[in-house]
Amino acid sequence: MTVYRTNILVCGGTGCVSSASLDVYNKFKKLITSAGYDKEVKIIKTGCFGFCEQGPIVKIEPDNVFYVKVNKKDAEEIVNEHIIKGRIVKRLLYKEPNSKRIIEKHQNMPFYKKQFRIALRNCGLINPEDIYEYIAVGGYEALGRVITKMNRDEIVDIIKKSGLRGRGGGGFPTGIKWEITKNNHSDKKYIICNADEGDPGAFMDRSILEGDPHNVLEAMAIGGYTIGADKGLIYIRAEYPLAIERLDIAIKQARELGLLGNNILGTDFNFDIEIKLGAGAFVCGEETALINSAEGKRGEPNYKPPYPAQEGLWGKPTCVNNVETFANIPAIILNGYEWFSSIGTEKSKGTKVFALAGKINNVGLVEVPMGTTFREIIYDIGGGIQGNRKFKAVQTGGPSGGVITEENLDTPIDYDSLSSIGSMMGSGGMIVMDDTTCMVDVAKFYLEFTQDESCGRCTPCRIGTKRMFEILTKITDGKGTKEDLKNLEQLSYMIKDGSLCGLGQTAPNPVLSTMKFFKDEYLQHVVNKVCPTGRCKGLAKYKIDPEKCVGCTACAKVCPVECISGKLKETHVIDQNRCIKCGACFEACRFNAVIKPK
Amino acid sequence: MTRPVEISVPKAAGELPNEKFVELEKYIDNLDTTKGALIRILHKAQQIFGYLPMEVQLFIARKLNIPGSEVFGVVSFYSYFSTQPSGKHTISVCMGTACFVRGSDRIHEKLKEELGIGSNQTTDDGLFTIKDVRCIGACGLAPVIMVDDKVYGRVTEEDLPEILNTYRQKTIDS
Ligand SMILES: Cc1cc2nc3c(=O)[nH]c(=O)nc-3n(C[C@H](O)[C@H](O)[C@H](O)COP(=O)(O)O)c2cc1C
Ligand code: FES
């Protein structure tokens, strides 16, 4: 085997690929080969490092130097300076936005310091397209141990004692789910990995699948062995081409090495995995809808019970788990449940991955122990709000969740604390908003999403969400009344009570939560007809600055609806009730007296 | 009384080449089982034909021996399937939350204005189709648009004309 003196790790996650990291990767290949270093220096395409904002990321091992925002030209400098002459390229190191301090090693960056990686432990470390790299870091050892040395009850016991709860949103204890499915007798059972990741603005599951697909395959095989299934399905959205490709490669490699297929590792355990593509429907993330879709049907949810553990795919007992839930399993088996349950809070064990996005400095993927506070994530890891603006709110739980405000920033993040402040853990989307974000507009955004994604089966959800969206549009257009606010609230409770699945039951949450914490902002919209952030165009107001107006009448002449009044050489005024916001007066004024809304 | 809107499945825009049907038939015949495979087959069909007009849906229904309504039911349920052909270049505007918070709605408006079409519509010259997508996983670069497979990050309203012109120029050049 060749021993390389240096490894160049180039991020091949979707975020960095979008900022052209593959060009950088190819450039390195070319440069290293033409410099004759290809026997000494290896170039590896890895999964996501998490620090997407600063991409493309390049890391040099074993020197442990972390370069950010590397382009093709920079690759040349890195090869000439760092690889050939051993001199670090200072210009490409990470600079802390506030202190302007230059940081060379990633462990010292505030972004990584407070993180603790279990599910993401191999992302950015190994080449996801090479099974031997996974095996080199202890991969498939847990599977080997489980199928040769442990019986099914022992495994259930370990997972139960670890305290692992589902990471797909519900937080149901994984050990108990496995136990129930195991105990339901049947000639055929299935295990399904839910990789539908519907929350828009969340990309945890995709990064795990892109960066460490074997971890999930191994966990599914362990789960299959435990519950007595010989068939696994990965239901993944068609919008994730890179993850699908990497999974495909991983499954083929695992089959070649006999880690999937018949008589795995010489035992009588048979297990194989198939990929099923979704086709763009948020509701298919719900497990019963997912099962219908996996059967090739319309993805409408079913009434529960029967739960999938009783009657799932093709009517057989089926265990559905989320990608991140699976990603924790091999580590628990290898390190023991005591290790896992020592991390986190009393009722929420282990870590959680969050996709940190929005108006924050360090957008990216972060994995933190349960119990970390929002303040730590936003200010220490996330580096604070972009452009040093004022923090306003953070949304967790996506379209099913709610907002968290300044006063709750010190809440420890775990399943129960989040529910108690009116939001939810959700699958891990964390969207940060600053003082330029209008909360009514945000609520409207989420309702636009849910009314579009409602499968239409339950009337309150199908029609109710549409009506809520219309009312919110009315408010942001400046035509709302106090009555509308009451109706919104009433509709919310009706939809929650009258819907079959989690989509409808949680769809009104963003509205209820913003109405609770930002009541004033709603009132400003309906009573004073102003949008404090200036985001809502319908409420935008053109005004004339009396200090600057000389009374030239230019504006009044061009106004198409004749809503500007004033005598020659006197200050003019716009009649807000008739103004259509065309902006003609703004263009016409030569004295900068017309103030354009933001 | 409100009457239900008549549902019509759009027919193909022109003659569909026979080889494509042969290719699809071969794909279906080679499947281990057609049980539960309808969505998979539709993905393949859309890849072959570019869209799923009535003729293709009926072909699949007959081949699988299921009612055409069942095929249409599935096609219309999932937003990934399209019954209209799309333009030469598909512009996907990310309408995910991260992009929204960083102003993707303005980009969306501006793009529609620039091209004079709405979402899921194609320009008269057949060059561009606008699609809304939810989070393409490049939230760090928000707001994001994607032209075919190429991602443009941190897009501003001012960038749009230039991006569009690159593709217009490409067409002229070729
Ligand atoms: C509307 C809706 C959407 C959902 N979307 C997802 C999803 O995208 N990914 C996921 O893992 N779970 C999703 N769930 C939760 C699943 O129904 C299910 O609880 C989960 O996959 C179970 O896995 P876990 O126990 O490992 O979390 C969704 C639920 C609802 C009601
Ligand atoms: S929300 Fe647009 S890329 Fe994620």
The secondary structure of A242-311 as a DSSP string is HHHHHHHHHHHHHHHTTSSBSSGGGSS--BEEEEEE--S-GGGGSHHHHHHHHTTS------SSSPTTTS
Helix (H) or strand (E) holding B59: helix B54-64
Q: What is the pLDDT of residue A98?
A: 73
**A7-36 mean pLDDT:** 93
CA A199 to chain centroid, in Å, comes to: 7
Domain range A439-526, CATH architecture: Up-down Bundle (1.20)
Q: ipTM of the assembly? A: 0.91
This prediction's pTM: 0.91
> Who contacts A591 (Cβ-Cβ below 8 Å, separation ≥6)?
A548, A549, A550, A552
Atom of ligand 2 nearest to the CA of B97: 1
Helix (H, G, I), strand (E, B) or coil at B113: helix
SS3 at position A9: strand
Instruction: Supply the DSSP symbol for A385.
Output: B
Helical spans, DSSP H, in A477-580: 482-498, 502-506, 509-517, 519-523, 554-558
Q: Is the peptide bond before B143 cis (omega within 30 degrees of 0)?
A: yes
Percent of chain A with pLDDT over 90: 82
pLDDT value of position A372? 96
Q: Which residue among A17, A297, A358 sits closest to B74, beta carbon to beta carbon?
A: A297
Tokens of A409: 């920033």
Q: Which of 41-80 (A) contact B at CB < 8 A?
A: 52-55
Cβ contact, residue pair B102, A358, below 8 Å:
yes
Write the pLDDT tens digit of every residue in A331-343. Answer: 999 999 999 999 9
**A32 CB-side CA count, 13 A:** 23
Check pLDDT > 80 for residue A48. Answer: yes
pLDDT mean over A371-386: 94
Residues of chain A with CATH 3.10.20.600: 351-434
Residues in contact with ligand 2 by the CB-under-6-Å rule are A 200-201; B 94, 96-99, 135-139, 142, 144
Tell me the residue type at B166. Answer: T
Please name the residue that has the structure tokens 């399943």. Answer: A415
Q: How would CATH label the architecture of A6-110?
A: 3-Layer(aba) Sandwich (3.40)
Q: What is the mean pLDDT of residues A153-176?
A: 96
Distance of CA A131 to the CA centre of its chain: 26
Domain spanning B89-173, CATH class:
alpha beta
The reply to whether residue B78 touches residue A295, judged by beta carbons under 8 angstroms, is: no
Say what the pLDDT of residue A486 is.
Answer: 97
- Cα A4 from Cα A476, distance rounded (Å): 60
**Residue A318: pLDDT band with limits 50, 70, 90:** very high
Stretch A20-48: mean pLDDT: 94
CATH number of this structure's domain A131-340: 3.40.50.11540
Of A14, A432, A446, the CB nearest to B138: A14
For chain A, give the percent of residues with pLDDT over 70: 100
Name the closest-CA residue to atom 19, ligand 1: A170
Q: How far is CA B162 from CA A115, B105, B144, B165, B168, in A?
A: 40, 19, 15, 5, 10
Q: Is residue A537 predicted with pLDDT exceeding 90?
A: no
Mutate to test the pocket of ligand 2, among B93, B101, B107, B139 (most ligand atoms within 8 A of CB): B139
A229 touches A219 (CB < 8 A): no
For residue B137, the chain A residues in CB contact (below 8 A) are 14-15, 18, 203, 206-207, 240
Report helix, strand or coil for A45.
strand
What is the whole-number distance in angstroms between the Cα of residue A403 and the centre of ligand 2? 19
Residue B3 has pLDDT above 70, yes or no: no
Q: What is the pLDDT of residues A254-300, one digit of tens each?
A: 999 999 999 999 999 999 999 999 998 999 999 999 999 999 999 99
Q: How confident is the model at residue A435 (pLDDT cuts 50, 70, 90)?
A: very high
The neighbouring-strand residues paired with A103 are A94
For A137-146, A152-161, A378-387, which range has the lowest pLDDT when averaged over its residues?
A378-387
Ligand 1 contact via A167 beta carbon (within 6 Å): yes
User: What confidence score (pLDDT) does residue B173 get?
Assistant: 84
Between CA A263 and CA A242 the distance in angstroms is 30
Report, as an integer, the average pLDDT of A229-248: 94
pLDDT value for A535: 86
User: What pLDDT is recorded for position B4?
Assistant: 62
* Residue range B117-169, pLDDT digits in tens: 999 999 999 999 999 988 888 888 899 999 988 889 999 999 999 999 999 99
Please state the rounded mean pLDDT for residues A220-232.
Answer: 98
Summarize the confidence of residues A365-386 as an average pLDDT: 95
- Given its phi and psi angles, is residue A39 left (phi above 0), alpha (psi -120 to 50 degrees) or beta? alpha
Q: Which residue has the tokens 């966990």?
A: A219
How far apart CA A115 and CA A581 sit, in angstroms, is: 48
**What is the pLDDT at residue A598?**
59
Least confident stretch, A88-102, A477-491, A500-514, B27-41? A88-102
- Interface probe with B: pick from A54, A203, A457, A536, most Cβ of B within 10 Å: A203
* B97 vs A contacts (CB less than 8 Å): 199-201, 357-358, 395, 398, 429, 431, 445-446
**CATH 1.20.1440.230 occupies which residues in chain A?**
439-526
Q: For CA atoms A469, A455, A357, B114, give the dihedral sign.
A: negative
Mean pLDDT computed over every residue of chain A: 94
Among 3.90.1150.10, 3.10.20.600, 1.10.260.40, 1.20.1260.10, what is the CATH number of A351-434?
3.10.20.600
Q: How far is the CA of A52 from the centre of ligand 2 (A)?
A: 12
Q: Coil, strand or helix: which one is A393?
A: strand
Reported as a single tens digit per residue, the pLDDT across B76-121 is 999 999 998 989 999 999 999 999 999 999 999 999 999 999 999 9
Per-residue pLDDT, B136: 84
**Domain A541-595 -> CATH class:** alpha beta
pLDDT value at A186 more than 70:
yes
